[in-house]
Amino acid sequence: MVLLVAVPVALSIALAFTAYDGLSAPVWRGLANFREVLADPLFRTAGVNSLTFVALTVPLRVALALALALLFNRPRRGVAFYRVAVYVPTVVPGVAYALVWLWIFNPLYGPLNPLLASLGLPAPAWLVDERTALPALALTALFQIGEGFVVVLAGLREIPEDCYHASSLDGAGRLATLRHLTLPLLAPWLLLLAIRDVIVTAQTTFTPALVMTGGGPYHATLFVPLLMYEVTFDRLRFGQGAAMTVLLLAVVGALIVLTYRAAGGWGYEDEV
Amino acid sequence: MRTLGFHALGLTVAAIFLVPGLWVLAASVRQPGLPPPTAIEWWPAAPAWSNYADVFTLLPLAGYLANSLLVASLAVPATVLVASWAGFAMAQLPPRPRMALLALAVIVRMVPLTAVWLTRFLVLRELALVDTLGALLAPVWMGSSPFFVLIFYWTFRRQPRALVEAARLEGLGAFRIWARIAMPLAKPAIAAVSLLTFVQYWNDFMTPLLYVKSDERATLALGLRVLQQMDVTNWPLLLAGAVVMMLPVLLLLFLTQHVFWRLADRRVLLGLTALVLLGVPAPAAAQARISFMVFGDAAEKAAYEKLVAEFTRRVPAVHVSLVHIPGQGDYRKRLGVDFAAGTPADVILLSYRRYAAFAAKGVLEPLGPYLARSAVIAERDFYPQAVEAFRWQGVLACVPQNLSSLVVYYNKDLFARAGLRPPAEDWTWDDFLQAARALTPAGGERRAQHGLGTEVSLFRLAPFVWQNGGALVDDPRAPTRLALDTPAAREALQWFVDLQRRHRVAPDAIEEHGESSEGRFLNGRLGMLLNSRRGVPTYRTITRFDWDVAPLPRRRQRAGILHADAYCMPKSVREKAAAWAFIEYATSPEGQRTLAASGRTVPSLRAVAESPAFLDPGARPRNSAAFLREIPYLRAVPVVPEWVDVEELAGEELTRAWYGRASVDEALATMARRAAGFFGRP
């Protein structure tokens, strides 16, 4: 952990204050990198895109995982099949997944627009259009919720049967059981899931953006990780890339605190 | 009734999650090259299962598959072991250190991989793990993800404390409590972590992208990216590749529930972990080993494989491993990382548009002195245009392999069908436009055939600007700003953009995204395609129609654009003699003849270019001499470090204008403003 994370992070933070091309020794620049990065319109675009993506996907992903886990929690005929079905898109490797969606969205060869047309719905240009490209990428993220699904299932199994017995003896209805028993007991799991999603989004946007859109059209799907990748490895401006890293970490940290606070109302902190 | 409702809901959910997979399967056996379907195709009339065989011949997929499986199956047990142990330890700690560890775990998980990508590379290099499967497996030492540790922590915290206390009173050690009491009660968590871990390693694309260099250790994720870059919109083949990658893991998924329970057995865990410990392969060294990095599509790769084979036959003492990156963009990033980490390939192929950034940093070994000492080749044997492009501050930095130019590839059958004569040697912009219009049949919104296809970039536009008497920059030797706003240059730009906007002879945004211009040309649905010599090895695979090349159409003055790549040697190379021996062979008449026979290059050696090796009348294109006739008129783009970035941003703005998302003047203004940030920067 120290070697793989701590040392690299410390190096990154140090580099954020230098001009470093990876080839010659770093030169101290103070805060100049941060000033340049914050003044860069591309970084602002990427920041807004990333936040939009998080806001679009994280709540929906957690809600979907919870809903499906509740639906397929009780063992009964066919449930095993449904569970596997939900998990299928998640095991698809990122590059293959991006490629498949690239094809599904393809305005000429893909199956999505004929499907929409047969339902009488309009057929957008998806990844070609600056307005629909980011929502399209967000849509693809909603199908890979198997991990959250499994986590919530595991959480549900940890809830002792006795609790449900007690609850039904008390005469609580299904909704009341859900609200007063299941959700509070699941709260730490859901919180963990939400936090994890926020963080993971900081890097899962990388592969689809790289494979499906290259950040386009015209920066509509340029996310911070992709920009960092380009600035660092295309232009060999490690210092600027590191400054972006530090900013990214700060924002993700703030988001986590926000999520934790927002969820704290019905979680039980003493567990932590 | 409730059961029925449940199953209706369940089946709907399952359909939403599974049907796209069936579509993919159907599309993967569609005949390649067919025009787009008009409705959803549930199953093609004549399934082409040969697509799967084709994918396996195109790429060493079997090896990728084995690597992916090995990595993922080693990672799962090791991760469960490490993460559960860490989680167990955390659960036993008193509150204060526990809080600190929890915070640390969360903070560590916050760090996106992109942030530690390069610096982790440096650490791995110190541990000699780069380009081993050990690099891919390194994260298991921290339980793969602190998230997994947290899952175990939550689970163990929920187990009755009394159980642990009782065991402790009976004199059981921590390890035994973990193994006999905690773990057996945590099976759901073990299953969850196992699944998540498997997916993490199977999916991993960024780690191999950076930490694995050789084909023998590449994983499937990397292989599919390579496939995509080889052929951007050949959907049947791409989807066949995707299916190959998805199938094993899907099968495994259906088996998981039973398998993962058994993996929780302690002895299996320990055995497999020992395998990971021992499994880090050690490199063997006997001959001089050098690596040679190139870009290009499958046919180009084959050409370089032949070159390497020929060299190995003549110089068996040197072993050359070919590192092949299909896309120019990925190539550039890969080079940047490799140089920064001090581990670039020993010989790298670089375009004259791209080597300046490296030459300016002083990381390239100047090859001029080597060439001067050579008994096989001499500078005067090369075309001066190619040599000059690689002269950095008076010294030859790299040895050029080729000098190509932009030409018009045209489909002879489509020309004949449209009643057009083959382009004349001195055809004009107007002739060009007339031909393009004749080749674009009128049609509805989506046209099946187009007259013209081109990449939309400053590099493609440049010769038209020059022909019209304009310039790209104020001073080609030391540019300080773009000069495309002069009337001559602006007129050329407007004419270029009008090809798509006004005359609609080129695919629009949706059509180009749907199927690339090059794909359309290969499938016989595009009349003319602008490209350099690079396309020839691939176009030689065309069997359905005949094609040839014509020079660029002319305007006020004749001008072409130089395309040249060269063999460069990084300064850090240890086996300099061996690397030079390879470069010398590759640029010698014999090596150049081998490469020229593949069609890939216009040889940089005058004697080879003017020989049948290049002008072979039996090989397509028949009109190869057109490339040589352009040579006296070739001009180069500025050779300065910032040029790649300027081209990239200019390309983005030109694309907007080309597809009508911005006017020509808006594009020019934005381009000038953005370029100012690059010119003259250190």
Q: CATH number for the domain including A110?
A: 1.10.3720.10
What's the predicted TM-score (pTM) here? 0.83
Contact A202 B112 (CB under 8 A): yes
**Residues B639 and B566 sit within 8 Å (Cβ to Cβ):** no
| Domain shared by B519 and B543, yes or no | yes
**Interface membership of A203 toward B (CB under 8 Å):** yes
Kindly state whether residue B222 falls inside one of the protein's structural domains. Answer: yes
Looking at residue B366, its amino acid is P
Q: What is the CATH number of the domain that holds B152?
A: 1.10.3720.10
**Interface membership of A271 toward B (CB under 8 Å):** yes
Sites in chain A below the pLDDT cut of 70: 1-8, 22-23, 169, 171-172, 202-203, 263-272
CA distance B35 to B24: 17
Nearest CB to A206; choose among B206, B332, B337: B206
Contact A91 B202 (CB under 8 A): yes
Percent composition of chain A: helix, strand, coil (DSSP 3-state, to 5)? 75, 0, 25
Q: Is A91 helix (H, G, I), strand (E, B) or coil?
A: helix
Nearest CB to A234; choose among B36, B203, B333: B333
Number of domains in chain B: 4
**Residues A58 and A194 sit within 8 Å (Cβ to Cβ):** yes
**Residue B446, phi then psi, degrees to nearest 5:** -110, 115
CA distance B121 to B118: 5
* Angle (nearest 5°) at CA B19 between B230 and B61: 30
In angstroms, the first-to-last Cα distance of chain B is 74
| Domain shared by B110 and B203, yes or no | yes
Kindly state whether residue B622 falls inside one of the protein's structural domains. Answer: no
Q: Where does residue B8 rank: exposed (0-12), middle (13-18), buried (19+ CB within 10 A)? A: exposed
CA distance B406 to B464: 11
Provide the shortest C-alpha distance from residue B251 to chain A (in Å): 10
ipTM: 0.82
Q: Which chain B residues in 393-432 lie under 8 Å from chain A, judged by CB atoms?
A: none
| Domain shared by B260 and B341, yes or no | no
User: CA-nearest residue of chain B to A6?
Assistant: B108
Is there a cis peptide before residue A217, judged by omega within 30 degrees of 0? yes
Nearest to B87 by CA among B217, B192, B232: B192
**Interface membership of A150 toward B (CB under 8 Å):** yes
Contact B13 A68 (CB under 8 A): yes
Nearest CB to A115; choose among B14, B40, B127: B40
| Domain shared by B296 and B167, yes or no | no
Mean pLDDT by 10 residues, chain B (682 residues): 78 86 87 80 84 84 84 86 84 77 67 67 71 76 72 79 81 80 79 78 80 77 81 81 81 60 39 37 55 85 92 91 81 80 88 91 93 94 95 95 95 96 95 96 82 96 96 92 95 97 93 90 95 92 94 95 96 92 95 92 94 91 95 94 91 94 95 88 55
What's the pLDDT score for residue B529?
97
Contact A218 B655 (CB under 8 A): yes
Best A33, A221, A234 member to test B by mutation, with max B CBs in 10 Å, is: A234
| Domain shared by B163 and B199, yes or no | yes
**Residue B566, phi then psi, degrees to nearest 5:** -140, 160
What's the pLDDT score for residue B169?
82
CA distance B321 to B291: 5
Contact B510 A108 (CB under 8 A): yes
Q: Quote the domain boundaries for residue A59.
A: 2-271
**Interface membership of B128 toward A (CB under 8 Å):** no
Which ranges constitute the DSSP H helices of B93-186? Answer: 95-110, 113-126, 133-137, 146-158, 161-169, 174-176
Distances (CA, A) of B530 to B28, B53, B405, B506: 30, 31, 10, 11
Nearest to B509 by CA among B521, B498, B496, B500: B500
Q: Which chain A residues in 70-109 lie under 8 Å from chain B, judged by CB atoms?
A: 71-72, 76, 78-82, 84-96, 99-100, 103-104, 106-109
| Domain shared by B114 and B134, yes or no | yes
Q: Which chain B residues in 552-591 lie under 8 Å from chain A, judged by CB atoms?
A: none
| Domain shared by B528 and B659, yes or no | yes
Query: Burial code of B566-575, b = ≥16 C-beta within 10 A, e = fewer?
Result: bbbbbeebeb
Kindly state whether residue B52 falls inside one of the protein's structural domains. Answer: no
Number of domains in chain A: 1
Looking at the DSSP assignment, which residues form a beta bridge with residue B31? Answer: none
Looking at residue B397, its amino acid is A
Provide the shortest C-alpha distance from residue B160 to chain A (in Å): 12
Contact B14 A85 (CB under 8 A): yes
Nearest to B489 by CA among B240, B274, B667: B667
Rg (alpha carbons) of chain B, rounded to whole number: 29
Nearest CB to A99; choose among B109, B238, B339: B238
**Residues A184 and A263 sit within 8 Å (Cβ to Cβ):** no
Contact B40 A118 (CB under 8 A): yes
The residue out of B278, B304, B337 marking a domain boundary is B278
**Interface membership of B21 toward A (CB under 8 Å):** yes
Q: Which chain A residues in 12-51 lie under 8 Å from chain B, judged by CB atoms?
A: 12, 15, 19, 21-24
Query: What one-character-per-residue DSSP string does B244-266 give?
Result: HHHHHHHHHHHHHHHHHHHHTSH
Contact B18 A88 (CB under 8 A): yes
**Residues B554 and B429 sit within 8 Å (Cβ to Cβ):** yes
Residue position matching structure tokens 């594009």: B667
Looking at residue B169, its amino acid is L
**Residue B290, phi then psi, degrees to nearest 5:** -130, 155
Query: Burial code of A166-197, b = ≥16 C-beta within 10 A, e = fewer?
Result: ebeeeebeeeebeeebbeebbbbbbbbbbbbb
Nearest CB to B7; choose among A11, A78, A92: A78
Question: Residue A240 is encoded by which pair of tokens?
Answer: 């600027």
Nearest to A96 by CA among A144, A49, A58: A144
Rg (alpha carbons) of chain A, rounded to whole number: 22
Q: Chain centroid to CA A225: how far?
A: 12
Nearest CB to A91; choose among B115, B249, B361: B249
Q: Quote the domain boundaries for residue B17.
A: 8-47
| Domain shared by B431 and B510, yes or no | yes
